[in-house]
Amino acid sequence: DAKTTQPNSMESNEEEPVHLPCNHSTISGTDYIHWYRQLPSQGPEYVIHGLTSNVNNRMASLAIAEDRKSSTLILHRATLRDAAVYYCILNNDMRFGAGTRLTVKP
Amino acid sequence: SAVISQKPSRDICQRGTSLTIQCQVDSQVTMMFWYRQQPGQSLTLIATANQGSEATYESGFVIDKFPISRPNLTFSTLTVSNMSPEDSSIYLCSVLDRYDGYTFGSGTRLTVV
């Protein structure tokens, strides 16, 4: 079984921020937290990853809890093209959970 | 980031036959992963393939059904053997990219009739 749990679905309005949570309570000290998203009929696409500190890139931000047992992917301004299934996984495990299906409403 | 070429992109096969899926990477990678994704479902890890050693299979997947080859650091194949309709799925390979996490192939959509 996957070592991460996420809500099955979330909704957002276009141009609003989206916070996608992930729990990974059994994370080990060497696990990196990875986020991927999968658009319809495509393979998963890398979004961001981090170990302890918060991370920012052109796609998103990753906020990691101080105890590392949870993290949040932040899309600062959701667009319709961000509608996808978002997966949080640990790099030493590589098993996917069900992910969060994000719906973006215009 | 690494670029993966996965072939075929789709196929329709008769039950009882076998299909070999190829993944070619444009850079040398140590570990490759094979996944299955059934319609509307998440990805399920089939096996991890390291060059020069036997693949490590996840629970529920066996080498006789899903033999994997890893002849060098840029190439791997997954064979789906003695296929049945339950094997209809999307099969994906993945590699660890040095800087950008894991990169996935575009997938092979398999239909068994």
Q: What is the pLDDT of residues B58-111, one digit of tens each?
A: 999 999 999 999 999 999 999 999 999 999 999 999 998 766 678 999 999 999
Predicted confidence at residue B87, as pLDDT, reads 97
DSSP string, chain B: ---EEEE-SEEEE-TT--EEEEEEESS--SEEEEEEE-TTS-EEEEEEEETTSPPEEPTT--TTTS-EEEEETTEEEEEE-S--GGG-EEEEEEEE-SSSSEEE---EEEEE-
The token duo for A76 is 């600062």
Interface check A94 vs B, CB under 8 A: yes
Q: What is the pLDDT of residues B21-68, one digit of tens each?
A: 999 999 999 889 999 999 889 999 999 998 888 899 999 999 999 999
Closest residue in chain B to residue A99, using alpha carbons only: B42
Interface check B101 vs A, CB under 8 A: yes
Interface check A98 vs B, CB under 8 A: yes
Q: What are the C-alpha distances in Å from A69 to residues A30, A32, B47? A: 13, 12, 27
Predicted confidence at residue B2, as pLDDT, reads 86
Cα–Cα dist B68/B11, whole Å: 19
Mean pLDDT of A51-78: 95
Q: Token pair 């092979």 is at which residue? A: B108
Give contacts of B92 with chain A, Cβ < 8 Å: 43-44
Q: Is the pLDDT of residue A65 over 90?
A: yes
